Amino acid sequence: MSSLPKKVVRFDGWIDPVFDRRLAAERDIALGICPVAGDDDKAWALLSGAHVYQVSSIKDELPSQWFADASLLQRCSKLLCVSSTGAGYDTVNVQACSKAGVAVVNQAGANAVSVAEHTLGLILGVSRRMLECDRRMRRERGFAREDVMGHEMMGKVLGLVGIGQVGTRVASLAKAFGMKVLATDPCLSTEEIGRRGAIAVPLADLLDASDIVSLHCPRDRSTLKMMDAQAFGQMKRGAIFISTARGGIHDESALVAALQSGHLAGAGIDVWDQEPPALDHALLGMDNVFATFHIAGVSHEARRNVAEMAAEQIVQLLQGSKPPRLVNPEVWPEFMERYITIFGRTQCAPEPTK
């Protein structure tokens, strides 16, 4: 067994202290913290010797040179794993990692409660026009209460595009408000969607029948600009659109047009093409848009859960054991071969399989 220290590297952005404390409890793991700006030489020196790279998944918070892509992997030949903070992995080229024998993990589900609660907050805020009322009260007098009269959620149809861990929790919360829940998810059977609390329908039927459409699907090539002008046109007149998923899944220009025309009654948007959006973004100028800054999964509890899960995954992986939330499971045999070459066999490391 090798006594070579196992090196984990992260940038100096905020992370719950439980991450650093958990890794410090392992005698054979050394944590290096890179400056995200101002000292590229130091950052590359640490990254080039890293076995695990804990990377932010927020593409607009991390300079692109630090994305886990083919060029970074080429400079980091010892890298065994990239751990993408949270559920998304927009800053990670999974295909390039798999080609290099690098495992990719995320912490999907660790912030599901927070995202689901935020989703319901957006739905309530837009449905009852709370934000419109708040804004108007701060700048004008003379409007009637009926001018900002909204709708109850009771009896309305909620359509979930994606019913993973977040979508399942949203379905459960929506049922408490007396809503009917529809869902579409290409990864799940009709029976499984039913077990998760929704009625399975095709996307076209969901758009046509829902009073509120909420996105909970990953951002990938199959979902980019999925909610375009045609999709918004399929939604009911007077319906509401919500997204706490990822920027780019909905076409922002098409959403602006659907709201300006009056076809949609309002929107709750937590995710943006550019984060944060420009101050003069058209959606930010609309009183019927509840806008937040990608904070659905940002709560004290969620951040602690994500950091704790990430640290446990890393410890498990560096012991030679397959971790949960492995994004590219097909890479595991090659990962184990590289692991054994670097560290030697451990009690957790099985024979690699071909």
Q: Could you list the active site residues?
A: 246, 275, 294
Placement of tokens 């009637």 in the chain? 144
Number of residues written out for the chain: 354
Q: What are φ and ψ of residue 191, in 5° steps?
A: -65, -40
Rg (CA), the chain: 22
Kindly give, in sequence order, each residue whose CB lies less than 8 Å from that of residue 345, ignoring residues fewer than 6 positions away. 1, 320
Cα–Cα distance measured from residue 351 to residue 214, given in angstroms and rounded to the nearest whole number: 45
Cα–Cα distance measured from residue 105 to residue 253, given in angstroms and rounded to the nearest whole number: 33
| Residue 14: closest CA among 85, 83, 68 | 85
Kindly give, in sequence order, each residue whose CB lies less than 8 Å from that of residue 41, ignoring residues fewer than 6 positions away. none
DSSP bridge partners of 168: none
Kindly give, in sequence order, each residue whose CB lies less than 8 Å from that of residue 65, ignoring residues fewer than 6 positions away. 40, 72
